[in-house]
Structure 1
Amino acid sequence: MQSPLFNYAEQQSQERYVVQNPQLLRVSLAGQDDILARKGAMVAYQGLVDFDGEYQSSNQRRTRSRTGEGLDLMRCSGQGTVYFANLAQCIHVVDVDQDGMTVDSAYVLALDSTLHTEVIAVDSQYGVSGTGKYQLNITGRGKVALMTSGQPLMMQVTPDKYVSADADAIVAWSSGLRVQMQAQTHNASVRRRRGDTGEGWELSFLGTGFALVQPSEVMPPQNAAIGQGIAAQYGVGGNGAHGQNQSNVWS
């Protein structure tokens, strides 16, 4: 059999994480360190690999119920090669060092099991919960595979040049940055989106580090149904964009 499809054969590499193509991640398992991956994200594998649901403590379950932030993971162990993907989103591998990284958990595809995760609150000058209010802090040494809707923009933050980003478009940033959630609005109520511009909450970053922004504001794939209610409109809760995309499918 002949076909141009054979140009997409698997890549050979000694690296543990390999971006097979912009929407597909290849991870090698050698029977030692396990991989934690988004539930349902496996699309193919070779070798002797086991997939188990990752245990969540009662505190983790309470935190996720209260904040909507957290990881719903499976543990991949054994020897072989596993391929991961999610809704054909673009995949990027990041090395986490001692500085740590803060990320919206909706954009995490896979990570080394040696890394530590913790839900943190982002400072809001208005005390309003919503998209961007809670995030996931990742510390330790290891790799994390992130997803973006389209090719992202990596913005450098320096003491003399701070960065602001839409709370629905920000993916990750250096944990050492000072962050504040705000809405520069001329409306009487800060809970309304800014005037008639359609712009809403934003995160401002100060210090030294990076901020990763995607060219999308948490919009679902075409024809995907988003739940009703104010929480769903802000992408949070069981009926929101984040809630509906927990099992690698849109319903």
Structure 2
Amino acid sequence: MPAKSLAEFIAAYKEEDVTSEAFELENDRLLEIRLNGSVWAKAGAMVARTGQVKFTRQGLLEQGLGNLLKKAVSGEGMVLMKVEGQGRVYLADAGKKITLLRLDGETIFANGNDVLALETGIDNQITMMKRVAGMMSGGLFNVRLSGKGIVAITSHYDPLILKVSAATGPVFTDPNATVAWSGTLQPEIATDISLKTFVGRGSGESIQMKFAGEGWVVVQPYEETYMQAGQS
């Protein structure tokens, strides 16, 4: 590919407004937020901004007692920051692909690590699944998202949506590859004893998420590893 002139470089990659929405993808890895009020964003996700913008880490009162207790039990949590003011804010997360979802009173669940940003009309509540405590060494925690507004979720590469139905039977996924699922599903943790017997395999595919009922689940072609809160 021949070298670009400066004019060609600027023309190819300059910021452009395609819609009038508050959330707009500049490309599939970079989210622009046209800020006029406040939104919630993943802490540390800002890569650039313009205008008068204030960032405040989510306070204890804003997290709610239920979320605080669940974070204390799990040792984990989705760390959000409130972004307030007027201007433009650009967010990204380790080069992951970004998908914008519009909720109109619906409910979805997402891996907390895969939530990049959400409008203030979206309620977020940390959820805990049965039998998770003591079984996972990674950062498996999930967030219930409901209300009206836009949510930005991330995935490594293009996500795959699998339909879950009573006719086809349950779907099993690797927790570290599971991004989100419909609010109609209540996953359970399943273990595969035969896979546990492999030398050097004490986790991974031996622990799976089981989805049964009617709905859908989103997976990514990547097994993500996490750190517990407080680790670096």
TM over 0.5: yes
The answer for the alignment partner of 1:56 in structure 2 is 60
The answer for the alignment partner of 1:45 in structure 2 is 49
1:146 shift after superposition:
0.8
Matching residue within 208, 215, 231 for 2:221: 215
Cα distance change on mapping 1:204 and 1:15 into 2, 3 Å: same
What RMSD, in angstroms, separates the aligned Cα atoms of the two structures?
2.4
1:185 shift after superposition:
1.9
> Is residue 115 from structure 1 mapped to residue 130 from structure 2 by the alignment?
no
Q: Contact (CA 8 Å) 1:37, 1:73: kept in 2 or not?
A: yes
1:170 shift after superposition:
0.3
- What is the one-letter code of the residue matched to 1:74? M
Q: How does 1:60-209 map to 2 (within 5 A)?
A: 60-124=67-131, 128-130=134-136, 131=138, 134-161=141-168, 162-186=170-194, 193=196, 195=198, 199-209=205-215
- What is the one-letter code of the residue matched to 2:112? S
Separation in 1, partners of 2:217, 2:30: 23
Moved over 4 A (4+): none
Percent identity of equivalent pairs: 27
The answer for the alignment partner of 1:19 in structure 2 is 25
1:27-75 Cα shifts (integer Å, max 9, x gaps): 11223xx110011211112222222222123734442132134321111
Number of residue pairs aligned between Structure 1 and Structure 2 = 218
Separation in 2, partners of 1:199, 1:205: 15
Q: Contact (CA 8 Å) 1:194, 1:200: kept in 2 or not?
A: no
1:236 shift after superposition:
5.0
Separation in 1, partners of 2:116, 2:208: 24
- What is the one-letter code of the residue matched to 1:178? Q
- What is the one-letter code of the residue matched to 1:149? H
Q: Contact (CA 8 Å) 2:192, 2:205: kept in 1 or not?
A: no
Cα distance change on mapping 1:100 and 1:68 into 2, 3 Å: farther
What SS does the corresponding residue of 1:160 show, helix, strand or coil?
coil
Provide the TM-score with structure 2 as the length reference. 0.83
The answer for the alignment partner of 2:228 in structure 1 is 237
Separation in 1, partners of 2:50, 2:149: 23
Q: Contact (CA 8 Å) 1:133, 1:181: kept in 2 or not?
A: no
1:99-148 Cα shifts (integer Å, max 9, x gaps): 41111111111111222222222234x87531576421112122111111
More helix by share: 2
1:158 shift after superposition:
2.0
What SS does the corresponding residue of 1:186 show, helix, strand or coil?
helix
Cα distance change on mapping 1:148 and 1:77 into 2, 3 Å: same
Cα distance change on mapping 1:68 and 1:103 into 2, 3 Å: farther
Provide the TM-score with structure 1 as the length reference. 0.77
- What is the one-letter code of the residue matched to 1:148? S
